[in-house]
Amino acid sequence: MKEFMMIFRNEKNDQPKPSPDQMQALVKQWQDWIGGIAAQGKFVSTNALGFEGKTVSADGLITDGPYAEVKEIVGGYIIVKADDLNDAVELSKGCPTLLSGGKVEVRDVMVFN
């Protein structure tokens, strides 16, 4: 099996923050989805990404980011094991970010020996 990274992308919106009950329900959706992948023996790791960061350019310029004006936000990722890209894409189909209009980018992880 190969490893694949799923990158979760959402459009920035001005909707109010979810209530504690809504947040708990959202966390459960993520736990259930990731738990389903783990139950298949295909889970490797995951993390959410924070809101603070910097971008380093080839010319040495360092800028703050991610920017508030950026339309699309990368919120986190998961690494899974799958037979091939199509298998990894199938695993992504239950991702809770899709329920809110987000996207899942699925990429193979290159291993250098």
For 52, the domain range is: 2-108
Tell me, what CATH number does 55's domain have?
Answer: 3.30.70.1060
Sheet holding 103-108, edge to edge: 43-48, 72-82, 2-11, 103-108
pTM of the model: 0.82
Q: Evaluate whether residue 113 is within a structural domain.
A: no
Q: Evaluate whether residue 101 is within a structural domain.
A: yes
Planar angle of CA 42, 107, 25, nearest 5 degrees: 60
Residue with structure tokens 């800028």? 63
pLDDT in tens, 71-103: 677 889 999 999 999 999 999 999 999 988 899
Q: Evaluate whether residue 50 is within a structural domain.
A: yes
pLDDT at 68: 52
pLDDT in tens, 38-49: 999 999 999 888
Instruction: Read off the pLDDT band of 10 (50, 70, 90).
Output: confident
Q: Count how many domains the chain has.
A: 1
Residue 112 φ then ψ, to 5°: -105, 120
Q: Evaluate whether residue 91 is within a structural domain.
A: yes
In this structure, the dihedral spanned by the alpha carbons of residues 96, 97, 101 and 106, taken in order and rounded to 10 degrees, is -120
Check residues 10 and 35 and name the one with the higher pLDDT.
Answer: 35
